[in-house]
Amino acid sequence: MRKLRVGILFGGQSAEHEVSLRSAKNVVDALDRTKYEPVLIGIEKTGKWLLAGAEMMLPAAVSLALPSNGRDLALNPGGEAPAGIDVAFPVLHGTNGEDGTVQGMLTLLGIPYVGPNVLGSAIGMDKDACKRLLRDAGIPIAGFRAFRSHERASIDFHKLTTELSLPFFVKPANAGSSVGVHKIKTEADFLPAVDDAFLYDTKVLFEEFIQGREIECAVLGNEKKTASVPGEIIPHLEFYSYEAKYLDENGAGLEIPAKLSPDMIKHVQEIAIQTCDVLCVEGMARVDFFLRGSELIVNEINTIPGFTSISMYPKMWGASGLSYQDLIDRLIELALERHARDRKIKRTF
């Protein structure tokens, strides 16, 4: 039986481009070569797609690199899959990768892909829409307000401090990995942080600061989901920054499994799965929580979690008994299962 050709999509037009290179390298290294043939598809920051060769899989490299001589890749909806791939594995964090755009393109191309579908990806990326759906479902969240760029003149520091208290966070609504995120402690911090957040999105979120433990849980599955043992982030800085998540191995302490009671572990796992169901997320996700005393509060969801050497998603599954290679294998199986399921839907009369 021939090997499945797995298209690894990496790079992309987002502030998390470099993280994607590191994550993709780990995914490529973990692919079972007896079952899969990796096809490397790099996306430049300009948006240009390139089909890359084996020179990008140097075992000594820390991350993949976009090829200087890669072949331009054309996409043909309704025609042959690009590079003859059987399934796509988007390792694209942030804008134009994690937000449903690439997922929509792959759907049009008829290619199975790892991770949530268009709707789940878009909802998971938009922190404002995500929080409103969780709130309506009765899942505890932090207090928040959202403003669009045309409402900028109505953003009032003193009103926000009345609603959210100090300190509070300001963050782009549609960016991940702590990009553009600031902790506001004084009025002097406010306007520069708002200006920076609006560089990354046209909608900005102002969010209540929760003093509590930072707990994370990994979820895997389509209709029937399972949750990993929870892990705990112990930031060494003000908050769990972009650098601490992906670049600095000493940026935060990681406790996996988290030191929680059996009842709380079960509660975390149940709410993590419920969060994915409410947000229409299948395939994979990492759900992030605050634990304030005995109160569990959902912070956000990440639908294409990091796969770097210090990323929590694969580490939590490893602690749950699922190796990195088996995790990648299961994610590909889930992509193929969902694609086969969705092909049975009647679309024409």
Per-residue model confidence as pLDDT tens for the chain (349 residues) = 789 999 999 999 888 888 888 899 999 999 999 999 999 998 988 888 888 765 554 444 556 666 666 566 666 666 667 778 999 999 998 888 999 999 999 999 999 999 999 999 999 999 999 999 999 999 999 999 999 999 999 999 999 999 999 999 999 999 765 788 999 999 999 999 999 999 999 999 999 999 999 999 999 999 999 999 999 999 866 654 555 555 555 667 899 999 999 999 999 999 999 999 999 999 999 999 999 999 999 999 999 999 987 899 999 999 999 999 999 999 999 999 999 999 998 877 7
**70: enclosing H helix or E strand:** none
CA 285/CA 262 separation, integer angstroms: 22
CA 87/CA 82 separation, integer angstroms: 10
Please report how the helices 101-109 and 118-125 are oriented relative to each other, as an axis angle in degrees rounded to 10.
Answer: 170
Tokens of 274: 């419920």
Phi, then psi, of 196 in degrees rounded to 5: -65, -45
Q: Which residue reads 């995790």 in tokens?
A: 327
Q: What is the pLDDT of residues 157-200, one digit of tens each?
A: 999 999 999 999 999 999 765 788 999 999 999 999 999 999 99
* Structural domains for the chain: 4-113 (3.40.50.20), 143-208 (3.30.1490.20), 212-337 (3.30.470.20)
Please report how the helices 127-136 and 262-278 are oriented relative to each other, as an axis angle in degrees rounded to 10.
Answer: 110
CA 295/CA 93 separation, integer angstroms: 30
* pLDDT the model gives residue 66: 65
3-state secondary structure at position 337: helix
